[in-house]
Structure 1
Amino acid sequence: MNDAVVLAEVWRGPIPESRHRGHAVICDAGGGIRAAWGDPERVILPRSSCKMLQALPLLESGAGADLTSEQLALACASHVGAAMHVGRVAQWLEAMGLGEADLRCGTQAPEDRTERGRLREAFEPPCQLHNNCSGKHAGFLTLGRRLGGGPDYVDPEHPVQRAVRAAFEEMCGLESPGFGIDGCSAPNFATTLHGLAHAMARLADPRGLGRAREQAARRLVAAMLAHPLLVAGEGRACSELMAAAGGRAAVKLGAEAVYVAVLPERGLGVALKIEDGARRANECAIAALLVRLGVLEAGDPLVARRLAPPVQSRRGEVVGSIRPGPDLWQEGAPL
């Protein structure tokens, strides 16, 4: 078993103050590893990074045939609970004759500052529509209408979750060793980083997956690329990095410092995990890999704020920076 390697480090002046270790894999659609750091076979919970895989049965079943690209982007989203997210999910549910009470994701205060302020001024509590996973759950409800199984669609034995697990394992090329319950109460199936990167590469190049799955993969990736703000929100790394990539990469965060990327032009998938769960480290690491893979420009302001964000004093002086680990970065050498 390979040890974790330094994927990001924090410098204060000339002193390396913190180091974040983890694992990363770049894979092609045939399952071949193009590059790896740490242990490619490390088993992880992908958390929200795998929402595209969880959405595959929605389209493969035909349940989502009439969904718009905005709705598909929301099915893959970890959004900030802004009005553009909450309103669209509410409309999606209403079109099915359902409402917020039919969701099983739980209440979450919105991260979006404008929506938080609106709720505060209106003396209105947050609801399940504000949950960052409400779009995924609207997709589950849509699939559940086709498959049946009752309202408790987050039960691991529900037809919805059995379909999700089957698609997840087939895309990763591995049987999942188990699952944990995600923050939104749905099962989150474990796999290796290699398996997760393989699944992302298959999304990037879905030829040979069968007509229904190929079309589903292409629609989901295209929806993410078309609507980066719906996938996350203003100021969020997923949205900004996709905007900077200009259609060359779909990227998705997962809790506890997981990140994946789908590179359609190159037919590659990327998966990484920071062991201590630090978001500042996984954003830096994914930006570094995407620069090296040629889909981001290091000098783009949207990229630079993730690749090498400054460490500042309380007076606003730049006193250090967060940097990709030297073995990962290799001075930006192409991959």
Structure 2
Amino acid sequence: MNQDLTSPETEEKLKKATSWIPALREEIGRVIVGQHYLVDRLLVGLLANGHVLLEGVPGLAKTLSIRTLASATNAEFKRIQFTPDLLPADIIGTLIYSPKEESFHTRKGPIFANLILADEINRAPAKVQSALLEAMQERQVTLGDETYPLPEPFLVLATENPIDQEGTYPLPEAQVDRFMLKLKVGYPGKTDEREILDRMASTAPKLDVNAVTSLEAICNARQHVNEVYTDPKIRDYIVDLVLASREPAQFKLDIGQYIQFGASPRATISLTLAAKAWALMQGRAYVIPQDIKDIGMDVLRHRVIPSYEAEAEEMTSEDLVGAIFDAVPVP
């Protein structure tokens, strides 16, 4: 391994750049009970400049988590409730004509914020989903003849309903692929549930949050993600994992008939960046195979699409990704 890139000086520099993370976790923990998995993945998204798709039942503090994260980082937060009658202009903004001045004025939409909660994204038709996802991809919005850059950092947390509910529009695979991570958030355990009861069972629960870091510190740490060292063997391991989702027979995996589509090259990039961010959050200046395993399911679960045969045998994308991780040799 390159000694210069993992020298004590480099490690110390990277640790200093992420020194705000423990304080941020602690501040969020004053409001959010448990949900360490969700909070850590939101931080990965912030550091790796990737958006997050969330699947979970109502009432799991998804909105509260991102609002608390925004308050603790001095970021601007906007929540967009997706409905079947929503229009693209309701998200990105529009031009308003002023008869008095005989000119158009730009009215920016709620997309112009640092942290966006796109609630129930699959409640809206494809045209609206595309408007949001284009803004996510290009990091800019065009209104009339003018193009406006979106603020930095910019993170979209989109929540998704289960597909079998009425009135939903499934997100096409090509659009889902633009999300770096897809999280599945479950119910809290008994201890956490009791603490939620003690803390929140009030007509006016205390949700005061102090800003413990700044957007500048996050953007600075994001630059250091690029300095996290990834050994060539680790890079080969990432490529092998993605290739195994497309050509499982090469890795002696008999699951080819269960995979309709494998992961795209975007998955390779996302897995590398997410692993670098995860390593940085652990206080390391280099990626180890366990980082890939820790974050890999969140990067791949929405990119490995099960076939009809898999659905008939009740195999999920998680089962397929798990089989891939078991089969691909670890460096």
When the two structures are superposed, what TM-score results if normalisation uses the length of structure 2? 0.27
- Indicate the structure (1 or 2) with the bigger Cα radius of gyration: 2
**Larger strand proportion, structure 1 or 2?**
1
When the two structures are superposed, what TM-score results if normalisation uses the length of structure 1? 0.26
